[in-house]
Amino acid sequence: MSLRNNIATLVVASALAAPWGGSAQQTPSRAGEPRSSVKVAFPADSPLTVVSADWGESRTSARGGALVLDLQTSLLLRNAGQRHVRGVILLVQAQEVTPGGKASVAAPSLDVKPGETFPIKVDLRLLLPLQAVGAAPVEVALDGVLFDDLTFYGPNRLDSRRLMTAWELEARRDRQHMKGLLAAGGAPALQRALLDSLARQAQRPVMGVQLARGGRATNLPGEREVQFSFLRFPDAPVEPLAGSARLALNEARAPQLDVRNRSGRAIRYLEIGWLLKDRFGREFLAGSVPAKVELAPGASSRILQESSLRFPDRPGQPLVIESMTGFVSHVEFADGAVWIPPRAALADPRLLGALAPSPEEQRLTELYRRKGLQTVVDELKKF
């Protein structure tokens, strides 16, 4: 099995609702219990087949009028197709989908050859109605598989194609960057870049952002409207024209953005990333404004989002948001092609310290940390 398969699986979406009150009595799963409550169901024509499932420490607990399923399993899958697999996203949901009853698991940065097997770890929590007990309520399904030629298989209910295509393009971009460093400056240049990336990952501020849909009906004390500034990338197909959001202390809400399609192709999806700066000058990535659009070449549109972002205060340091900066982080054209920022754009000091590295850069830096520089060099030579 390729080294590229030994990556940490990412839980990319969890629909677990608000915290529950009361106490919970934890009970380890009995022998056979997870198998009776979880079903792995792939289509007959799936390019992936299930070899085995290890249910590990999966357990259930009753909380109030609901059942909490902590699902911890490792699926061993086989590439039964003829192309290399680059990414997989699984949909995990209750048959009766309730708030908290749906989640997804993603495995990016794969390189699984035809006939090879690879593991995917599932470690998440679902909330189920008590009446679902014993009715096989949870299903693990395949939402999408991305291949090395960027073709896709799956129902794509989670927009997995767009997401995994972006990850694969980021992986190619970042590998090419590291190969360029290796060619120009040898192993020492590559090592410096890996060490710099590890340092940024360790120092990057991580905020426990709370997202609320619908915003607030009334203004908060001291709330004010603040205009976005923008980081502009010369080759971005979307030009941000203007934007604003309502700010009050540690909350930003109701962002709106005016954008223009300056490419020659129709656009159906875009994301504008947010950088927020607090009163101490600390800058961090707050999230993004996603939008499904129908934007013809040369056309403009206003993007509205009725939501609010709340950021936690640090002990003794109340967070006060002072300003916002936006940048185009992701564009999907009507033909399914995807644009991502080039590596040169990410060298901007403001982005370099705030953005999380791509899954591929994380994988390569972790490979360096665990196995050393030569292992990374050998890995880059495979492409």
5-19, 171-185, 192-206 — which one is most confidently predicted on average?
Answer: 171-185
Q: Are residues 172 and 317 in the same domain?
A: no
Instruction: Give the model's pLDDT for residue 206.
Output: 64
pLDDT tens-place string over residues 64-81 = 667 777 888 889 999 999
Angle between helices 373-380 and 359-371 (to 10 degrees): 140
pLDDT tens-place string over residues 289-337 = 889 999 999 999 998 877 777 766 665 566 677 888 999 999 999 999 9
Residue 331 lies in a domain: yes
Q: Are residues 68 and 126 in the same domain?
A: yes
Q: Is the pLDDT of residue 31 over 70?
A: no
Structure tokens at 195: 């060490």
Quote the domain boundaries for residue 176: 168-204+361-380
Instruction: Give the model's pLDDT for residue 67.
Output: 76
- What's phi and psi for 137, nearest 5 deg? -80, -15
d(CA 299, CA 296): 5
Q: Are residues 255 and 343 in the same domain?
A: yes
The predicted model gives 268-278 an average pLDDT of: 89
Instruction: Give the model's pLDDT for residue 313.
Output: 61
Chain-centroid distance, C-alpha 184: 32
Residue 153 lies in a domain: yes
Q: Are residues 96 and 143 in the same domain?
A: yes
CA atoms within 13 A on the CB side of 15: 15
The residues, ordered by sequence, that sit 6+ positions from 209 with a Cβ below 8 Å of its Cβ are 286, 287, 309, 310, 311
Instruction: Give the model's pLDDT for residue 318.
Output: 65
The predicted model gives 9-14 an average pLDDT of: 37
pLDDT tens-place string over residues 192-230 = 999 999 999 998 866 555 555 655 545 566 688 888 899
Residue 56 lies in a domain: yes
Number of domains comprising the chain: 3
**pTM, whole model, 2 decimals?**
0.83
The predicted model gives 163-185 an average pLDDT of: 97
How much is the mean pLDDT over the chain?
A: 82
Q: Are residues 231 and 152 in the same domain?
A: no
Residue 374 lies in a domain: yes
Q: Are residues 8 and 153 in the same domain?
A: yes
Which amino acid, residue 165? Answer: T
* CATH number, domain containing residue 310: 2.60.40
The CA-atom distances, in angstroms, between 285 and each of 95, 110, 206 are 35, 27, 8
Q: Are residues 72 and 29 in the same domain?
A: yes
Q: Are residues 257 and 238 in the same domain?
A: yes
Structure tokens at 18: 């608000």
The predicted model gives 276-295 an average pLDDT of: 83
Instruction: Give the model's pLDDT for residue 317.
Output: 65
Helix, coil or strand: residue 298: coil
Residue 163 lies in a domain: no
Q: Are residues 231 and 181 in the same domain?
A: no
Q: Are residues 7 and 48 in the same domain?
A: yes
Residue 282 lies in a domain: yes
Residue 180 lies in a domain: yes
Q: Are residues 145 and 172 in the same domain?
A: no
Residue finishing a domain among 158, 193, 223: 158
Give 34's pLDDT tier (boundaries 50, 70, 90). very low
Residue finishing a domain among 140, 158, 176: 158
Q: Is the pLDDT of residue 148 over 80?
A: yes
Instruction: Give the model's pLDDT for residue 350.
Output: 83
Q: Are residues 330 and 184 in the same domain?
A: no
CA atoms within 13 A on the CB side of 175: 19
Give 95's pLDDT tier (boundaries 50, 70, 90). low
Q: Which residue has the higher pLDDT, 135 or 47?
A: 47
